[in-house]
Structure 1
Amino acid sequence: MDIQLRPQVIFDGLHFKITGSKSETNRLLLLQAIFPEIQLQNISASDDAEVMAKALSASDRIIDVHHAGTAMRFLTAFFAAKEGSEVEITGSPRMKERPIRILVDALKSLGAEIEYQETEGFPPLLIKGKKLTGSKVSLQGNVSSQYISALLLIAPKLESGLELELLGELTSIPYIKMTLSLLEKIGVKTTLIGNSMMVAPKPRSLSPEHVTLTIESDWSSASYFYSIIALASAGTSVTLSSYRQNSLQGDSALAEIYSPLGVDTIYSNNMITLKKRKCDPKPLLLNLSNTPDIAQTLAVTCFGLGIPCALTGLHTLKIKETDRLQALKNELEKLGAAVSITNNSLQFPASAEINQNIAIETYNDHRMAMAFAPLSIKIPIIIKDAGVVSKSYPGFWDDFERIGLNVIRS
């Protein structure tokens, strides 16, 4: 399905209930598989969460995670530590290009039995679950936080827990802290000192206060509303729920990041109201090593505002659903930007005009579709393969239509 978007007057003051955080949901679904007494509320409606839940409850020998990178990493660790199981985890053609050796090597050092079925270092994997006897592992600190979180999440299953040391510079720290915080919420003791962390073995049972958890709504999904408000006229506002000011999600940095772009964030009763004020935005220079998932949204916002943009800390974007740096360069240049990229950065000068009626390729990447959609406030634009948004935000186009944008499905 392709979607044509055309500018219309934005409805002011609407309230949207955003689905639960995909990041929190997938972590808690895995912990629920270890501690069945856990009850979860506001579970993410995303494809990724559905894949995760299905895989954890399935009896099939072959598990296909499709494009769900988080599920691939988390399930690899889970089944490696599930005694007596034998599964093959596979995925889409793109998933088979996404490296997993770092995690596999770490699990093998703990005693796991894992074999590559096609290309060395990449999925699919044959995993024979067994009791993991190791209790210490070291990883480079600049690897994907999903590798680190996968190990931390299975740590309660290990007889002696896990001591994990990260070497060198750390990236995506908020996602690691999220994992540790969720473990604490269910009663598992954790310690984080410098680059070292420890997770204790699981308690025999959870106390009642640790059993029912409400998942916060997804801040990454909120980013598209930040972009809409940033590109809208002064005074426009929208309210989103359910959000906490002391969020575990790294992307809650949106509130601070978008303030210089004219968007105020007002917290009240587990809701946030985003309101546009008059603003003369300056060039945006940011290191997004802790919040790489909002890079595409920010780049498009800056382009739409006609301001220069220089983003660094983006080294993990090349191994996402697509090479997001190259994809951003391709599509922004079609719209009239002059984009330069390296292995970990993207930048462009201000553009005076935006080319209209451009068809944006989404590369099977949900964030490409949603990041470019807010430009329709300013110009007509076409989003190819628009159904890809179901990976993280199935109701995205319905909400876009409700906010007043002209959404034409074809």
Structure 2
Amino acid sequence: MPASPSTARAINDRLALRLLQQEGPLTAGQLKTLTGLSRPSVADLVERLQVSGLIRVVGEAGEQRRGPNARLYGIVADRAHLAALDVRTQGVSVVVADLVGATLAEATLPIGSDTGTEPAVERAVALLESTAHEAGVRRLHSVGIGAPGLIDPVTGELRNSTKLPAWHRRLVAALQQRLPATVLVENETNLAAVAELRLGAARDLDDFVLLWLGQGVGAAVVLGGALRRGASGGAGEIGFLPVPGTGGLPSATGCDAGFHALAGAAAVRDLAVLHGIDGEAEEAVRAAAAGECPGGRGDAFLDALAGQLAVGAAAVAAVLDPGCVVLGGEIGYAGGTALATRVEARLAALSPLRTAIRPTELGGEAVLRGALLAAREAAQAELFAPAS
């Protein structure tokens, strides 16, 4: 059955808005070419979107063109404002942006482990409020939060975990209670994968696994261009993966003897010390990748680290055959191509399945980028919805 005129108009409007979001300001002629619609149909949708306050004239195309056909139309960026939070065990980072994702203000606040739950929540909320005020934003439409831990796929809530500070769970509830905004929470590694898919190292892929290498270890699975969370929201808890070389097995309550023991920041730091390289894990990996370690220590360290990371990557390849693994997080970013090429070589010796290894392009910023994408999509889904 063909779509009704109102449904067809709604579909055309959403298509035009998506193109304006992806391509930036466009003329009516460019919209006609990209949508395949007739000139009268494009003229009608431009008028509808202007009347609804979603687009406006933002300039003209080319110095030689003037008049209606040269007008550039763009999304009204200040129609709604968004925020993203990256919640870590020792602090929180915030970014405030407009509807097209342009950053207006950002800030970071450390929160020590000796800070009480309620004071920690208040500091995080105050940081968001002050950052919004700095950006000149009075009201936030949507807030995306990236946090460590499992997200319940049914309720969308952050599950309780004895390994995480209590203020993490309270922060989400506090923001939902105190802000007249849509508040979304997602696992940090999943958000990082979405950011790499849309903006980073995996933007040309439909299938890949992001291996997050930071204070903790995680993975995010993207198949067919879609994030896969698993039945309980735990897809990618690779720190619990039983692997050789850890001297034991993980348990339901701890991943200390799982892959985490080979790839977590503490393990990476200990491996660096064994090779005569001082400093925290990220610093050691960056120095080794940059060739700053004397006597071949850096190469030996990266070779050893690549061997440990390849163990987990081989398990991922054997089960999912994603074709590509992106080394994400601060350590993956610090290692760059120098580490990625070594992991790919070691993996090729362990697995018959050809799997490319790429370094992240976004590093530690990936969580905030992913959270902002989630907030923007939530806002646009509401604002761009056809009128009833």
- TM-score when normalising by structure 2: 0.26
1 or 2 for the larger relative contact order (CA 8 Å, sep ≥6)? 1
Q: Per residue, is there more helix in 1 or in 2? A: 2
When Rg is computed on C-alpha atoms for both structures, the one with the higher figure is 2
- TM-score when normalising by structure 1: 0.25
